[in-house]
Amino acid sequence: MNIINVHQLHKQFKVSKHRRGMWGAVRNLVSQDYQLVEAVDHIDFQIGPGELVGYLGPNGAGKSTTIKMLAGLLVPTGGILEVNGRVPWRERQAHVAEIGAVFGQRTTLWWDLPVIESLALLKHIYKIPEARFQHNLAEFTDMLALAPFLNTPVRSLSLGQRMRADICAALLHEPKILFLDEPTIGLDVVAKERIRQFIKQVNQARGVTVILTTHDLQDVEKLCERVMIIDRGRLLFDGQLKSLRDRFGGRREMIVDFTESYPDVAVEGAQLIAHDGVRATYQFERDELTASTLIGRISSRYRIRDLTVRETEIEETIRRIYEKGLLES
């Protein structure tokens, strides 16, 4: 039984086209030309309960639009969209009572209230029984280290503190699904790590289904088994992170330190991408060449002191997918 069911979902935006120049401006007053932009272009996917899915794509790809439709904030132009067995925008209040959402760019808390009072208001909004509320609050306060700033107004929190407070707020009512739209944006390494730990724990211990959009691929590597990649409104990839790496992360790197500096260290089958003094970096295709063959070729000509082989980072893989449209066939 899927908790999210999306079939041929699409969303069009009307963008007004402004004519240029003075005469154009006058004509704009009378009639405006619209251009239809397909923000989400007929996508399909299913998500089962308890999954933790990374939803990736460059800016303007349609990630946020999808999340907003799933959260019931945007009405789709067409297609099927079911979350928790409901059509989100048709039964907004019932729907939002069972989801949690964090939009990294803005807060859902009240700007001028202390954190604890914002959370207390949420208790009334979601009608959380007092005992459950206290229990969850204590647990999240501990896990997210909220105690030092519970009495601080939201507007005076640092970004990392605000994000933790927001994540706590999104989970107090024990939603079945959590939407996280760039939850680690602008945070330092420590704060990011703490939030990742928490997301993982909530997903595993409480079985909350998590859909996460991010530009930080560390988030993806550390959290998600499954990734979906969207670009220009179209779903380019939906599958295991591992298979993404296998399919498109075919290039590996070998960094070699020689015992002395050679003027030319090129070998066949591998591309020399850097050469500086005694150190050289080669790139080679996994399918074409094994690491041991390459080592053999190099060592037959030059004396090697040390070497490391590096798998391509997921970041590199995804950048290649965006840039070259590798998935478009």
Cβ 179 vs Cβ 99: under 8 Å: yes
Reduced to 3 states (helix: H, G, I; strand: E, B; else coil), residue 242 is helix
Q: Which of 87, 97, 241, 326 binds another protein (CB under 8 A)?
A: 97
Nearest-Å Rg of the Cα atoms of the chain is 25
Task: Decide: is 255 part of the binding site for another protein (CB under 8 A).
Answer: no
Q: How far is the CB of 202 from another protein (least distance, A)?
A: 18
Cβ burial 76-91 (10 Å sphere, 16+ → b, else e): beebebbbbeeebbee
Q: Residue 309, interface with another protein (CB under 8 A)?
A: no
* Binding segment toward another protein, per CB under 8 A, in 41-49, 110-118, 229-237, 307-315: 110-118
Beta bridge partners of 86: 83
Q: Does 110 bind another protein (CB under 8 A)?
A: yes
75 binds another protein (CB under 8 A): yes
Residue among 92 and 320 whose Cβ is closer to another protein: 92
Considering only the stretches 24-32, 95-103, 263-271, 285-293, report the one whose residues sit in contact with another protein under the rule CB under 8 A. Answer: 95-103
The H or E element that residue 140 is part of is helix 130-144
For the beta carbon of residue 317, count every other beta carbon within 10 angstroms: 22
Binding mask 120-159 for another protein (x = CB under 8 A): xxx-xxx---------------------------------
- C-beta of residue 212 within 8 angstroms of C-beta of residue 183: yes
Task: Return the structure tokens found at 177.
Answer: 């699904």
Q: Does 105 bind another protein (CB under 8 A)?
A: yes
Identify residues 41-70 at the interface with another protein (CB under 8 A).
64, 68
Q: Which string of b and e fits 167-194 if b means at least 16 CB within 10 Å? A: bbbbbbbebbbbbbbbbbbebeeebbeb
Choose the binding region for another protein from 105-113, 189-197, 254-262, 299-307 (rule: CB under 8 A).
Answer: 105-113
Report the nearest approach of another protein to the CB of residue 214 (Å).
14
Residue from 92, 247, 286, 319 touching another protein (CB under 8 A): that is: 92
CA distance 257 to 265: 11
Site membership for another protein, residue 162 (CB under 8 A):
no
Q: How far is the CB of 99 from another protein (least distance, A)?
A: 8
> Within a 10 A sphere around the Cβ of 40, how many other Cβ atoms?
27
For another protein, give the closer residue by CB, 173 or 194. 173
CB-neighbour burial class of residue 292 (10 A; exposed 0-12, middle 13-18, buried 19+): exposed
Of positions 45, 55, 103, 237, contacts another protein by CB under 8 A: 103
Contact residues toward another protein (CB under 8 A) are: 13, 64, 68, 71-75, 89, 92-94, 96-97, 101, 103, 105-108, 110, 112-113, 117, 120-122, 124-126
